[in-house]
Amino acid sequence: MIDRRADEATRGVRRGVYVLPALFTLGNILCGYLSIDAAHQHRFYTAASLLFLAGILDGLDGRVARLTGSTSAFGEQLDSLADVISFGVAPAFLAYQWGLGGFERLGLAVSFLFVVCGACRLARFNVQIHVVDKRYFVGLPIPAGAAAVAGVVWIHPAPLPSAGWSVAYLVFTVVVAYLMISTLRYRSFKDLDIKSKKSVVLVPVFGIILAALAWKPEISFTFLALLFAGSAPVTKLLSLMGLFRPKKTEAPAAVK
């Protein structure tokens, strides 16, 4: 009897461990859903903030799954579907409500383009999941794309002051959408060994970043997102000019 109860308790704990990462993923979906509602009510600052919170939860679910040994095919698929909502549909709707609505059908088409490119980005990840070089992402990850588009809104939640700024934001959204389906390589930093002695020099950098995030999160998060989004095109341009030679890798990463 004691052994049976112990076995049932162990199985209950195991189920709880597998459910835990899914709860973070569901929190990600909830943030995306609430962001759509906030954007519909023209509460743009709140809508953008919720998308960045969704990004934090998206980063935690995979790490929790790996730490608890509860990774599964179901969790991977649920995570991808959550990303389509939180980092595809929600930021596209926010972009349309905030800066693209004045273009009517053109604005609707551009916001839809962002959703399509984000979904294609995730689909490419799913079919190439076993062809991975962990040092690089192929194409801009969809959470980073959403952060770039929504971050501009987070910094300036008021309506755009002129048609010129609206045109610039429309072009910017198209560029970010393209970067997601491009084959440009982005550093994943997964090869960064924080246990090595060389990583000690990064401590002040991390400290400055954390202080900036605590001081002005909307500006800091957006700056980091834009910096990351522009890193691969700039690196590619420098390599074409012969000013930079990236290291060769055996296989590209296909990471969302």
Share of the chain above pLDDT 70, in %: 79
In CATH terms, the fold of domain 2-240 is Four Helix Bundle (Hemerythrin (Met), subunit A) (1.20.120)
d(CA 231, CA 141): 13
In this predicted model, what pLDDT tens digit does every residue of 7-57 receive, in sequence order? 544 454 455 456 788 889 999 999 999 999 999 999 999 999 999 999 999
Confidence at residue 12, expressed as pLDDT on a 0 to 100 scale: 44
Average pLDDT over residues 211-234: 90
pLDDT at 98 over 90: yes
Confidence at residue 63, expressed as pLDDT on a 0 to 100 scale: 79
Confidence at residue 38, expressed as pLDDT on a 0 to 100 scale: 97
Name the nearest CA neighbour of 131 among 1, 7, 252, 3: 252
Q: Name the range with the highest mean pLDDT among 115-129, 146-160, 230-244.
A: 146-160
Tokens 């095919």 belong to: 73
Query: pLDDT higher for 248 or 155?
Result: 155
d(CA 100, CA 165): 10
In this predicted model, what pLDDT tens digit does every residue of 188-221 receive, in sequence order? 776 565 666 666 666 677 778 788 777 888 999 9
Q: What is the amino acid identity at position 131?
A: V
Q: pTM to 2 decimals?
A: 0.84
Which token pair is 59?
Answer: 């980063």
In this predicted model, what pLDDT tens digit does every residue of 55-74 receive, in sequence order? 999 988 877 777 777 677 77
- 243, 124 in Cβ contact below 8 A? no
